[in-house]
Amino acid sequence: MSKKIMFQGTGSTVGKSLITAAICRILNDKGYNVAPFKSQNMSLNSYVTQDGKEMGRAQVVQAEAARIEPMVEMNPVLLKPTSDIGSQIILNGKVFNQLKASDYYRNKEYLMTEVIKAFRTLEEKYDIIVIEGAGSPAEINLRKNDIVNMGLAEAIDTPVVLIGDIDKGGVFASIYGTYMLLSSSEQKRIKGYIINKFRGDVTLLQPGIDMFYEKLPIPCLGVIPYSDFQIDDEDSVTTRFEKPKEGSIHIGVIRLPYMSNFTDFTALELEQDVSVKYLATKDDFEEIDLLIIPGSKSTIADRIYLQNSGLDEKIYRCHKKRTPIIGICGGYQILGKTIKDPFGVETERKEVNGLGLLNINTVLEEEKKTIQRTGQILVNFDNGGKTQGKNVEGYEIHMGKTEHLDNESDFILLEEGLYDGCVNQEGTVFGTYLHGIFDSHEFREALLEPIRRKKGLNLNPSRHYRELKEEAYDYLGKVVNESLDIEAIMNIIESSN
């Protein structure tokens, strides 16, 4: 039976996902066959596995850090919010149901059986399972039927390490309060704690750690410094929407309320001369060299938002200036003439008009399409971008079927002679269902080259995204390895059943 360790946090965004990824990399470097696990994820950032199943991006990152292929058992339950009170439930990689929060909790017993099955599958394949909790285990109103924090820890009998975020302030209070709100059996599972995102000289924190041990005698397993790790975020609770990094090339991404898969743009953000700005107001549309309408979990609601907010006027203005516009998945649908929802997949509203920048119509269907793809770009951009013939790869996650009307060209030739996407006659507006298309470095370089030429920038070749990610995982592992008592963590793992 596999060894295991679980990382829970005093709250959201304390660093559970990244620390789990770091431990996966550290253990793999030590020669262990290790896998990540998170029973339940809530995120609009998802991924499609090789066998066409959908899972959360956080566990994909952790699997990559562990140098293994992502598999849906690493994240058996994925919640994709479609409103303030409801979510689409993805179970074992496929759509299970569309439920309100109150209805979801009535399904917890069944979901727990599926979670345990997934975990046991991983146990048969890997030496060590590194488990991530969600939010905080001290949310006592959610403790009954919990399947992701202490409920799961007790079901699979795993030791737990607690993570606190000192950058928010009150780290000792949050660790102490979390611990004290747990039951006695749950408290016994806490084998230590980690302080994350520390700024300054760690020796100045040591007296506080010593004093805290007198009040709560569990060991501090390390203090991790505040660092800028260039690794995909788990969900919309992210800092990437804040001030973008400086860059000579300005790429604007519309910040839709139900934006999905903003990890599509990580490869662009890693380009040294590129600044990716998420556009939330009409005042944000300044100096845009390339405009992107991203994926959406509620395409009709996001199209209505663009109209009501006046952002569609800014999109039309970019179009008139011949600024290249690219729509990804839901953004592709929004670029068309109409979006119809005859089955009520997203809303009771049966039809809305799109932006009309592509001569296409979309009908939302009841069955979701999830598949990995490879293909070749068929056209060049109007701005001089030599994208034609460039190879791309990505994955589709959508419930819509899009039909081309007159005078529009296909964007990508897929494997088996299939086609994806659409291009307007002028070569200024493009749409595709492929998430991850910017990860392909040849396409990304060809897309950015004419902008670099126009601005007199160096024409540095784009690097392979996989190489950049490997460097990021190595750096993450190095920082965490140097900051934690790895021997103590290994002892915790060895003590697990």
| Residue 2 clears pLDDT 70, i.e. is over it | yes
Would you mind telling me the total number of residues written for the chain in this entry?
497
Dihedral sign (CA 427, 432, 435, 437): negative
**Cβ neighbours around 344 below 10 Å, total:** 12
Please count the CA atoms within 13 angstroms of the CA of 73 that sit on its side-chain side: 15
For helices 299-309 and 311-320, angle between their N-to-C axes, nearest 10 degrees: 80
Residue whose tokens read 């600044």: 275
Residue 44 has pLDDT above 50, yes or no: yes
Q: Are strands 220-225 and 190-198 parallel, antiparallel or unpaired?
A: parallel
| Residues 448-487: tens digit of each pLDDT | 999 999 999 998 888 899 999 999 999 999 999 999 999 9
One DSSP character per residue, 44-111 reads S-EEE-TTS-EEEHHHHHHHHHTTS---GGGS-EEEEESSSSEEEEEETTEEEEEEEHHHHHTTHHHH
The pLDDT-based confidence of 83 (bands split at 50, 70, 90) is: low
Helix axes 465-483 and 57-65, enclosed angle (nearest 10): 80
Express each pLDDT in 296-328 by its tens digit. Answer: 999 999 999 999 999 999 999 999 999 999 999
Centroid of chain to Cα 174: 26
What is the helix (H) or strand (E) element at residue 312, kind and residue range? helix 311-320
Q: Encode pLDDT of 342-376 as tens digits.
A: 988 888 888 999 999 999 999 999 899 999 999 99
With 0-12 / 13-18 / 19 or more C-beta atoms within 10 angstroms meaning exposed / middle / buried, residue 415 is exposed
What is the average pLDDT across 488-497?
93
Which architecture characterizes domain 3-231+470-495 according to CATH?
A: 3-Layer(aba) Sandwich (3.40)
| Residue found by looking up tokens 């938002």 in the block | 305
Instruction: Tell the residue number behind the tokens 């991203």, with chain if given.
Output: 294
- Burial (CB count within 10 angstroms: exposed 0-12, middle 13-18, buried 19+), residue 231: buried
Q: Is 87 left (phi over 0), alpha (psi -120 to 50) or beta?
A: beta
> Does CATH number 3.20.20.210 belong to domain 249-456?
no
Picking from 185-189, 217-221, 328-332, 346-350, which range would have the lowest pLDDT averaged per residue?
346-350
pLDDT at 84: 60
pLDDT at residue number 385: 82
Q: Say whether pLDDT at 61 is over 80.
A: yes
Mean pLDDT of the chain: 93
User: Active-site residues: which are they?
Assistant: 329, 435
**DSSP letters spanning 171-232:** HHHHHHHHHHTS-HHHHTTEEEEEEEEE-S-GGGTHHHHHHHHHHS---EEEEEEP------
3-231+470-495 shares its CATH topology with 249-456? yes
pLDDT exceeds 50 at position 236: no
Can you read off the two tokens belonging to residue 185? Answer: 């059996």
11 pLDDT more than 70? yes
- The answer to whether residues 347 and 298 touch, using CB atoms and an 8 Å cutoff, is yes
Q: What is the pLDDT of residue 237?
A: 52
Mean pLDDT of the region 159-181:
97
Q: What is the pTM of this model?
A: 0.93
Residues 244-269: tens digit of each pLDDT:
888 999 999 999 999 999 899 999 99
Q: How many CA atoms lie within 13 A of 387 on its CB side?
A: 30
Q: Rounded CA gap, 412 and 170, in Å? A: 52
- Is a pLDDT exceeding 50 seen at residue 101? yes
Taking residues 27-51, what's their average pLDDT? 96
pLDDT digits (tens, 9 = 90+) for 403-456: 998 778 999 999 989 999 999 999 999 999 999 999 999 999 999 999 999 999
In sequence order, the β-bridge partners of residue 40 are 77
Would you list the domain boundaries of the chain? 3-231+470-495, 249-456
pLDDT, position 240: 67
